[in-house]
Structure 1
Amino acid sequence: MASRAFSRSFGGVSSRHLNKLPSMYTRSITVSRPAFNTDSIQTTTSETTIESLVPPSESLKKTSIRRTTITQPMTPHNLNIAKLLAAGLHLGHSTSLWEPATLPFIFGTREGISIINLEHTLVYLRRACNVAREIAVRGGSILFVGTRPGFQDLTIDAARRCEGYHVSGKWIPGTLTNAHQVLGRHASPDPEDPGRPPKTYKPDLIVLLNPLENKIAIAEAQLNKIPIVAITDTDYDPRLVTYPIPANDDSIRGVELIAQVISSAAKDGAFRRKQLLDQKEKESKFSRNQHQRR
């Protein structure tokens, strides 16, 4: 529109008549350019050599780059659904192996694989952590059982973290129901009466990482009324254990996360028990001193 108005204002004046227009219709345009000093340019083309193009050997030395990743230990306090999802705990088994009792824990199916609802996993995992913490506060013993190949190291680490016990090999039948014959030979004799058979102890809680391969351990724990915390996948009945955790039991990373969280909760409970015992001892000493002063 501006170009049309400009052409109409001149009434069709051609380009040759533009020079005859008054100065009021023209405007002088001046372009300022910086001064170019030709003396500052030095022609070094003739002085360039191959050696000058190669960088010095000192700059070619390899510098060791060490990346340090600071990872926080997994505890029940910093646990969330994103970490469970990253560990692959939402992937269940094929729908052909589906156990109908796991229906409340299944979010849906995708490409023939059952997807576990991690909201339920988080709730049941926190409940198992509370159970392990309370048992540790009361001075109970916790037994970690992981007999599947690849679970041995993480089972031992979880037991050592909370000063518990572990079974990383094959579960020997009769470990709980016939403990005097199975475990009695490994127990140390009584120093006061060496002839008496050694005393064996039973765990107060069993954390089972692969319940599908340890049906005998579950049966023995039920006979001895020992609660069981177990990872139940979509192909296992969660009603067979006391505290089920719906999650993928084939992911080593996910099983390690669950074992680490439960052992951390048990460690917190043991530390809390130590604090309570110290406080109780201090109170008893204080009351004893007060009684002596009187």
Structure 2
Amino acid sequence: MAGRTLCQSLVGVSRRSFNKVPSIKNTRSITLSRPLFNTDHNDTVSVETTSAETLVPPADILKKVSMRRTIAPAATMTPHNLSIAKLLAAGLHLGHSTSLWEPATLPFIFGTREGISIINLEHTLVYLRRACNVAREIALRGGSILFVGTRPGFQDLTIDAARTCEGYHVSGKWIPGTLTNAHQVLGRHASPDPEDPGRPPKTYKPDLIVLLNPLENKIAIAEAQLNKIPIVAITDTDYDPRLVTYPIPANDDSIRGVELIAQVIASAAKDGGFRRKQLLDQKEKESKFSRNQHYQQQQQQRR
């Protein structure tokens, strides 16, 4: 009996204490409090309250950003840290079906797998490094580089590659006559000559074209050949690599792989531009030093 009465009394206490707990169904926000205790007992205790609504950013701050831009790369790809494993992870070894095979790509093909041509990434690495050397040398000599990527999904990576090396880009449709009839196509967009406004504005041609999808830009290749402009292009197993100056045998359908190639070439061009600035600064310092020496010698002779 004593054990039963004790159990009933405990149950009654627990029920009474549970009924005293306030309900939070009607509350709109839950406040989180954290007391800040001071060692001095004379000071008052301050409490910071943070509501759940303040933890959510307002809707106007959230902007629509593409998924490719939201995911930051782990490390910037450069010609120095390039390897076959990274090319394989980007899917650059996957070619097209054997029914679309171009016989001129035979030296670049490793074999076939379930009706799909497999590209030898050893050749891809060699030809990609050669293209990087070309882009670096052109940037070192002060040339301009044009990145062309007109396929859907290539626009953002084409613009980013051009901005990396301070180059130019064509992310929309290639306008016929951009190179062969530049005065009519690009003249209206060029700034007029400040010395002679009535004179037709000057248009410049790129020194190198990096073509990310050559299959859809045959007109651009034909215009570059007429103007003797070298072309670096990604050539898949369904495209003749002899039509471009510096082919890169790789998969041109993988956005991740195309971004890797464009980023590596842009990094090489950026390196060449940085070296050019260093050389120009060094020449300027040497010229200033020689002028100062010449001035000091003249002063000594006059004395």
Q: Flag whether TM exceeds 0.5 (same fold).
A: yes
In the alignment, does 2:254 pair up with 1:245?
A: no
User: Would you say 1:260 and 2:235 are equivalent positions?
Assistant: no
How many angstroms does 1:69 deviate by?
Answer: 8.0
1:287 aligns with 2:283: no
> What are the superposed Cα offsets for residues 123-156 of structure 1, whole Å, 9 maximum, x if unpaired?
0000000000000000000000000000000000
Please, what TM-score do these two structures have when normalized by structure 1? 0.77
Which residue of structure 2 lines up, in the alignment, with residue 176 of structure 1?
179
1:151 and 2:154 are equivalent in the alignment: yes
Provide the secondary structure at the position in 1 that maps to 2:112. strand
Matched letter for residue 92 of structure 1: G
CA RMSD of aligned residues (A): 2.2
User: Which residue number corresponds to residue 39 of structure 1?
Assistant: none
Alignment pair present for 1:192 and 2:195: yes
Code of the aligned partner of 1:107: F
Question: 2 CA distance for matches of 1:82 and 1:238?
Answer: 24
Q: Secondary structure at the match of 2:162?
A: helix
Distance 2:281 2:191 in 1: 30
Query: Is there any run of 5+ residues in structure 1 with no aligned partner, and where?
Result: 1-46, 52-57, 59-63
**Displacement over 2 Å in runs of 4+:** 47-51
Q: How does 1:106-121 map to 2 (within 5 A)?
A: 106-121=109-124
Deviations 1:181-213 (A, max 9, x none): 000010010010011100000000000000000
Using the alignment, how far apart are the partners of 2:290 and 2:117 within structure 1?
Answer: 61
**Deviation, structure 1 residue 237:** 0.1
Match of 1:88 among 78, 91, 94: 91
Which protein shows a greater Rg?
1
Corresponding position of 1:276? 279
Task: Supply the AA of the counterpart residue of 2:193.
Answer: D
2:230 match = 227
Q: Which runs of 5+ in 2 are unaligned?
A: 1-9, 18-31, 33-54, 56-70, 298-303
2:40 corresponds in structure 1 to none
Question: Which residue, out of 118, 127, 138, partners 1:135?
Answer: 138
- Equivalent in the alignment of 2:169: 166
User: In structure 2, the residue corresponding to 1:206 is in which secondary structure?
Assistant: strand
TM value normalised by structure 2 = 0.75
Report the Cα offset of residue 71 of structure 1.
Answer: 1.3
1:91: how far off? Answer: 0.2
Percent pairwise identity? 91
